[in-house]
Amino acid sequence: MYRSSSFKDNRGLSLLELIVVIAIMAVLIGAAGFGLSLLVGTEARQAVYKMEAQLNDTKTGTLTKAGEDLVVRYIDVSSNVDDWALKGVDKSGYYADKCLYTIVMNAPGSNMKQQYSDKHEYSYIGAKKVNIDVFLSSGQTKIDSSNAIRIRFKRDSGEIEDVEVGSVNAADEFTASSSGKIDRIEFTAGLRKYVIKFTPLTGQFSISTS
């Protein structure tokens, strides 16, 4: 009996053909995922170099001016968009919140002292997809909406003081809960990790990858 060729063409894929198709799909998906991971990893690279620039600027400011503190924090602007916009913060993410000092005089004849000014300078470091972990002698801390760190340099020597871990209130005031000698800060996104390694006694720091 005659059978049309279309009947034969309606057969499904053989087991071998199905295995080949699945293998090709797995390779394509893996390559796409790897590429996306590397793309995300570039954000960690950008963040670490922005952080390095802020550290250098803060150290220079401390040694040549009245003094500066660097608070590294996560800012979520969604609940207070207009107020943050007035401060120059237009998107959620990690920020370097540089707090500037001013020199004021006490009563006549007394020594000079340092006092916070109301000036804050916010510099964007990176998006939330970047994980920032800080390693101190007192333990490890992840910077997020609840945890921030404050970094200070000594005016006379450039040495890094004990880094403080704490929180920042609505008035941008930092309250410390613990402190310790800083060892490193890790920036991780996708498959990439960048590290800022510190030498507190000399105030030096350098970037490495892993």
Q: pLDDT tens, 156-208? A: 889 999 999 999 998 888 999 999 999 999 999 888 899 999 999 999 999 99
Residue 2 domain-assigned? no
Any alpha helices (H) in 65-160, and if so which ranges? Answer: 81-86
Entry pTM: 0.75
- For residue 171, being part of any structural domain is answered with yes
Residue 47, pLDDT score: 94
Q: Is residue 8 part of a domain?
A: no
Position 100 in a domain: yes
User: From start to end of the chain, where are the E strands?
Assistant: 68-75, 93-105, 112-126, 131-136, 139-142, 148-152, 163-168, 174-180, 182-189, 192-199, 204-209
- Count CB atoms within 10 A of the CB of residue 117: 13
The residue segments making up the domain with residue 86 are 13-209
Give CA 108 to chain center in angstroms.
44
Residue with tokens 């503190």: 69
User: Do the domain assignments include residue 1?
Assistant: no
Q: How many domains does the chain have?
A: 1
**Residue 104 identity:** V
Quick check: is 5 in a domain?
no
Residue 163 in any domain: the answer is: yes
Nearest-angstrom CA–CA distance, 133 and 44: 12
In a domain, 136, yes or no: yes
